[in-house]
């Protein structure tokens, strides 16, 4: 139910921005394949023989033989599978091949279906074939759903919710480190044990320009949804010129892009059938997205790599020729012509004071369940392509996330320390960018269109980290309307101590008595702000959501923060923070509700910039009195 709800939300977003074509005609069967041209499952018998088509090298169609071994009814609700033994095209040696997904099989000139399932480590090339009749059925059902939701929206249906249900923290250290953006993705299309160990043929993902570390990150995130990123490369210019405009026909390579540009990530499968401008392929889902918008591309096969488990085609995408708009349990389908709307992203990297900066440009699919991980992979790879990084480094990061009809979200900060060194350092460095995009595109309040993402990172050797070692107040007592003056001693990593002064004005109406001052780093400052105002992480409108993001990204890691607890308290009502309320007003709110309202408490905050990334926290007490005497307190 949760996944279905998320898909309905995604459809609303896509339709709102015109990212998918609405099927306005009630006759969604118009232009579909003629049922006389493909087999009904009930007419199939063991022993029937036919021919299949696929490409093993280049773009040349080759034929293989197929013999029906049996028909398995209802292997999944409403779905059947035809078991076929394949022969020819060296399949006796290589077995069923990753990249063959969608290869059509014909019996007596009629289309049976698409090669789609296989066993790992199988001794014989026996494949599970998805009947084409069921591919058409499920694509048609998805088209009708899109058309119905389009009509609902045209009548004024709203995409809204009373609450976002709590947004995840952005700043590291505020959440479970395993709860990284986008880690939870679409479910595995078919479990391995559902059909005696037979699984959908894994879609090989040709990754061009990706480092081993970035490829490993992609693999860990995409493997659960049946995708297998592998190092590849772009096709030579000669191949692109000669083969790029070849039409998609049954049996030809079908490439589906996720990232295009200076880095490329594209899945390789096979076309099952073409009817007018409608293209069917794969015979199983790619990612179970339902309605989607992915680049549909021609492809080129370099060779088949035989393996003991499941062999694979090694291919490259060539040219975008249309849009994949359907990813359902029996197939993917798309339309020739219209080019998909992709997210432009720019990354500028400079490593070292005297190094020349390099800029990378890509376009990324806008699927919410994929976008955060793809962005993180691009950012990680942009750094990895620059070669080995220093064991100890500091990074200055700037990011601008431009939004449609809203002010952009921009932040600039410095990162340093052991968290950002080593193999996982680049991933930790850019996780805030991926987290922000994840929150925006998957929010339940209203659609948010990210127009572009621009990042810049400058890396220099050395760990520029300093601990808050001690704090000294110039006076233990301060008068209302006076200034709390303090000196913070910092201990840099492998460096000499230095001090920074922080002065905090005390309001004239600040209450007399003992108070607590906390000196801390940016992470602790954000944590304290969120604790004092819990409504920030439960916004009820888009303005509240954007405010919550900026509250977490505005503080600088290179500053020392002074927090002084304010006695004024307030409450959060329907996601709206109402600070500094008198006790009588808070009592009125509380008396009308059975559940206690979340209390908020504001801090007086002052910061002081430094040339270090600050870590640590110290707390000490002072007194607000009418006649303050001079006294000094040390806290260690």
pLDDT one-digit tens code per residue, 608-625: 999 999 999 999 999 999
Query: Which position has the token pair 């390789």?
Result: 268
DSSP code at position 90 = T
More confident residue, 530 or 454: 454
Helix (H) or strand (E) holding 312: strand 311-328
Split at pLDDT 50, 70, 90, the class of 591 is: low
Split at pLDDT 50, 70, 90, the class of 464 is: very high
Task: Using CA atoms of 207, 209, 211, 212 in order, give the dihedral in degrees to the nearest 10.
Answer: 30
In a domain, 241, yes or no: no
Domain that includes residue 102, residue range: 35-134
What pTM was estimated for this model as a whole?
0.82
DSSP code at position 58 = B
In a domain, 42, yes or no: yes
The residue among 117, 134, 151 that closes a domain is: 134
Which of 206-210, 226-230, 301-305, 539-543 has the least mean pLDDT? 226-230
In a domain, 398, yes or no: no
DSSP code at position 225 = G
Of 306, 318, 301, 313, which Cα lies nearest the Cα of 58?
301
Q: What is the pLDDT of residues 307-317, one digit of tens each?
A: 877 888 999 99
Which of 27-41, 166-180, 526-540 has the least mean pLDDT? 166-180
Pairs from 70-77 (Cβ < 8 Å, separation ≥ 24):
70/46, 71/41, 71/44, 71/46, 72/128, 72/195, 73/41, 75/194, 75/195, 76/190, 76/194, 76/329
- Contact at 8 Å (CB) between 66 and 51? yes
Segment 75-80 shows an average pLDDT of: 82
In a domain, 205, yes or no: no
pLDDT at 423: 75
Which residues pair with residue 104 across a beta bridge?
Answer: 114
Q: What is the pLDDT of residues 6-63, one digit of tens each?
A: 443 433 333 333 333 333 333 445 568 999 999 999 999 999 999 999 999 999 999 9
Query: Which position has the token pair 């099927």?
Result: 23
In a domain, 231, yes or no: no
12 CB neighbour count, 10 Å cutoff: 19
Segment 261-269 shows an average pLDDT of: 93
The residue among 109, 134, 159 that closes a domain is: 134
Residue 550 has pLDDT above 50, yes or no: yes
pLDDT at 21: 38
In a domain, 110, yes or no: yes
List C-alpha distances in Å: 289 to 3, 341, 495: 10, 16, 53
Name the packing angle between helices 425-441 and 542-553 (round to 10°): 160
Q: What is the pLDDT of residues 474-493, one digit of tens each?
A: 988 999 999 999 999 999 99
More confident residue, 439 or 536: 439
Residues contacting residue 55 through CB under 8 Å, at least 6 positions apart: 61, 62, 251, 252, 253, 270, 301
Degrees, nearest 5: CA angle 182-206-338? 80
**What CATH code is carried by the domain that includes residue 87?**
2.40.10.10
Q: How far apart are CA 101 and CA 333, in angstroms?
A: 13
Can you tell me whether residue 241 is helix, strand or coil? helix
More confident residue, 137 or 20: 137
In a domain, 303, yes or no: no
Split at pLDDT 50, 70, 90, the class of 539 is: confident
Residue 174 has pLDDT above 90, yes or no: no
In a domain, 147, yes or no: no
How do beta strands 110-118 and 331-336 pair? Answer: unpaired
More confident residue, 127 or 160: 127
The residue among 116, 134, 152 that closes a domain is: 134
Split at pLDDT 50, 70, 90, the class of 226 is: low
178: buried, middle or exposed (CB in 10 Å: 19+, 13-18, 0-12)? exposed
What is the percent of the chain where pLDDT is above 70?
Answer: 80
Split at pLDDT 50, 70, 90, the class of 102 is: very high
Which residues pair with residue 332 across a beta bridge?
Answer: 281, 327
Q: How many domains does the chain have?
A: 2
Report for 29-43, 153-167, 356-370, 384-398: range of highest mean pLDDT? 356-370
């Amino acid at each position: 139910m949760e996944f279905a709800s998320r898909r309905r939300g995604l459809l609303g977003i896509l339709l709102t921005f015109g990212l998918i074509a609405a099927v306005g005609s009630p006759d969604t069967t118009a232009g579909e394949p003629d049922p006389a041209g493909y087999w009904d499952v009930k007419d199939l018998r063991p022993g029937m023989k036919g021919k299949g088509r696929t490409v093993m090298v280049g773009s040349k169609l080759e034929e293989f033989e197929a013999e029906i071994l049996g028909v398995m009814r209802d292997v999944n609700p409403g779905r059947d599978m035809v078991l076929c033994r394949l022969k020819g095209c060296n399949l006796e040696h290589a077995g069923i091949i990753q990249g063959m997904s969608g290869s059509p099989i014909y019996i007596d000139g009629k289309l049976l279906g698409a090669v789609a399932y296989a066993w790992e480590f199988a001794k014989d090339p026996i494949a599970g074939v998805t009947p084409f009749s069921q591919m058409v059925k499920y694509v048609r059902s998805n088209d009708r759903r899109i058309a119905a939701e389009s009509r609902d929206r045209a009548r004024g249906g709203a995409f809204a919710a009373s609450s976002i249900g709590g947004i995840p923290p952005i700043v590291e250290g505020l959440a479970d480190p395993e709860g990284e953006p986008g880690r939870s993705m679409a479910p595995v299309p078919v479990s391995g044990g559902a059909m005696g160990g037979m699984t959908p043929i894994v879609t090989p993902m040709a990754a061009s320009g990706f480092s081993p570390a970035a490829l490993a990150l992609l693999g860990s995130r995409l493997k659960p949804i049946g995708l297998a990123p592998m190092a590849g490369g772009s096709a030579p210019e000669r191949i692109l010129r000669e083969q790029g405009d070849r039409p998609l026909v049954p049996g030809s390579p079908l490439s589906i892009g996720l990232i295009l540009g200076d880095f490329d990530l594209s899945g390789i499968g096979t076309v099952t059938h073409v009817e007018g401008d409608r293209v069917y392929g794969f015979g199983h889902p790619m990612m179970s997205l339902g309605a989607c918008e992915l680049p549909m591309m021609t492809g080129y096969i370099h060779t088949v790599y035989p393996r003991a488990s499941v062999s694979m085609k090694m291919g490259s995408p060539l040219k975008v020729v249309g849009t994949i708009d359907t990813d359902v349990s029996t197939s993917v389908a798309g339309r020739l012509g219209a080019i998909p709307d992709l997210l432009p992203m720019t990354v500028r990297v400079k490593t070292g004071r005297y190094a020349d900066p390099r800029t990378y440009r890509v376009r990324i699919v806008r699927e919410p369940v994929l976008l955060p991980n793809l962005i993180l992979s691009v950012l990680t790879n942009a750094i990895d392509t620059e070669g080995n990084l220093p064991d100890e480094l500091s990074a200055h990061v700037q990011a601008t996330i431009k939004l449609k009809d809203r002010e952009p979200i921009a932040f600039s900060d410095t990162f340093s320390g052991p968290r950002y060194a080593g193999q996982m350092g680049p991933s930790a460095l850019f996780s805030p960018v991926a987290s922000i995009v994840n929150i925006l595109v998957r929010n339940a309040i209203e659609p948010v269109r990210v127009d572009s993402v621009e990042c810049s990172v400058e890396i220099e050797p050395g760990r520029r980290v300093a601990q808050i070692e001690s704090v000294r107040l110039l006076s233990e007592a301060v008068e209302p309307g006076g200034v709390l003056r303090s000196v913070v001693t910092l201990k840099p990593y492998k460096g000499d101590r230095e001090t920074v002064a922080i002065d905090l004005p005390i309001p004239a109406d600040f209450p007399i008595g003992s108070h607590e001052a906390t000196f801390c780093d940016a992470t602790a400052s954000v944590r304290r702000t969120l604790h004092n105002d819990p409504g920030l992480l439960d916004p009820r409108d888009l303005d509240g959501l954007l405010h919550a993001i900026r509250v977490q990204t505005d503080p600088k890691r290179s500053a020392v923060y002074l927090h002084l607890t304010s006695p004024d308290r307030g409450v959060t009502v329907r996601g709206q923070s109402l600070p500094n309320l008198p006790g009588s007003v808070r009592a009125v709110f509380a008396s009308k509700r059975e559940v206690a309202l979340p209390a908020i408490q504001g801090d007086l905050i002052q910061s002081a910039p430094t040339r270090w990334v600050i870590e640590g926290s110290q707390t000490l007490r002072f007194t607000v009195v009418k006649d303050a005497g001079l006294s000094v307190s040390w806290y260690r």
